[in-house]
């Protein structure tokens, strides 16, 4: 799906209803994994009625008959996101009891509190991770931090209402959205964006 024709993305962004209950206002945690256990952790958390998100993308797979297939694969194999639908202490206990090596990203090196990704930020990030969108690039956390850009809000087009940093890559403009552990960029026209400091 070309970003210029992403009508479903536009509808999703403009008609999303934000409720005041926990279901839609809950922040998220970013969890680092230390071995190939992403699927196991995700399934274990879902079995406990906890919501997870793993960014996915289509990759080309060559079969034995040389038939090209497209399959969904995780973008990063050592990271997943968990919705905070329980208290932090309850989630700590759940993660401690799991038979996997993992670590929740914290606020900083001094405090032990988990870093909470705001609901709106996570919603925009999930929307930008739609695997059907073609003009998209993923970045590591370090790569995203090194990208120079201007904080903007998109005022027109399918990304209207979204915020992020307007950055350049290969002579094209992208909207960069960061969360702990990674970043995602979507192609955007700079004329559709307005710097946040102008509001």
**Rounded Cα–Cα distance for residues 121 and 191 (Å):** 22
Q: Residues 142, 171: one domain? A: yes
pLDDT of residue 3 exceeding 80: no
Angle in degrees, CA 121, 141, 50, rounded to 5: 50
Question: What is the per-residue pLDDT for 98?
Answer: 92
Mean pLDDT, the chain, rounded, equals: 85
- Of 100, 117, 134, the last residue of a domain is 117
Q: Residues 67, 5: one domain? A: no
Q: Residues 1, 33: one domain? A: no
Considering only residues 133 and 91, tell me which one the structure prediction assigns the higher pLDDT.
Answer: 91
Residues of the chain above pLDDT 70, percent: 83
Q: Residues 11, 92: one domain? A: no
pLDDT of residue 89 exceeding 90: yes
Ranges 8-17, 87-96, 114-123: which has the least confidence: 8-17
The answer to whether residues 61 and 70 touch, using CB atoms and an 8 Å cutoff, is yes
The parent domain of residue 165 ranges over: 1-25+119-198
Ranges 88-92, 115-119, 157-161: which has the least confidence: 157-161
Q: Residues 105, 158: one domain? A: no
* pTM (global) more than 0.85: no
- Of 117, 132, 153, the last residue of a domain is 117
For residue 26, the 8-state DSSP code is -
Q: Residues 37, 60: one domain? A: yes
pLDDT of residue 67 exceeding 70: no
Q: Residues 91, 157: one domain? A: no
Q: Residues 1, 77: one domain? A: no
How many separate domains does the chain show?
A: 2
Distances (CA, A) of 165 to 13, 34, 150, 157, 174: 18, 30, 5, 16, 8
Q: In whole angstroms, what separates CA 137 from the centre of its chain? A: 12
- The pLDDT tens digits for 31-61 are 999 987 899 999 999 999 999 999 998 887 7
- Of 117, 150, 182, the last residue of a domain is 117
Q: Residues 181, 152: one domain? A: yes
């Amino acid at each position: 799906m070309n970003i210029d024709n992403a009508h479903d993305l536009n509808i999703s962004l403009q008609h999303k209803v934000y409720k005041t209950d926990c279901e839609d206002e809950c922040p998220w945690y970013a969890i680092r994994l230390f071995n190939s256990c992403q699927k196991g952790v995700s399934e274990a958390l879902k079995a406990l009625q906890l919501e997870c998100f793993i960014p996915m993308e289509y990759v080309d797979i060559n079969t034995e008959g040389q038939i090209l297939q497209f399959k969904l694969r995780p973008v990063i194999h050592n990271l997943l996101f968990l919705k905070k639908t329980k208290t932090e202490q309850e989630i700590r206990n759940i993660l401690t009891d799991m038979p996997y090596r993992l670590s929740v990203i914290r606020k900083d090196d001094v405090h032990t509190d988990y870093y909470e990704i705001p609901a709106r930020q996570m919603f925009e990030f999930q929307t930008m991770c739609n695997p059907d969108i073609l003009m998209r690039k993923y970045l590591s956390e370090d790569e995203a931090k090194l990208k120079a850009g201007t904080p903007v809000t998109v005022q027109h087009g399918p990304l209207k209402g979204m915020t992020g940093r307007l950055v350049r890559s290969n002579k094209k403009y992208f909207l960069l959205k960061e969360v702990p552990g990674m970043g995602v960029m979507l192609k955007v026209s700079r004329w559709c964006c307005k710097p946040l400091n102008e509001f």
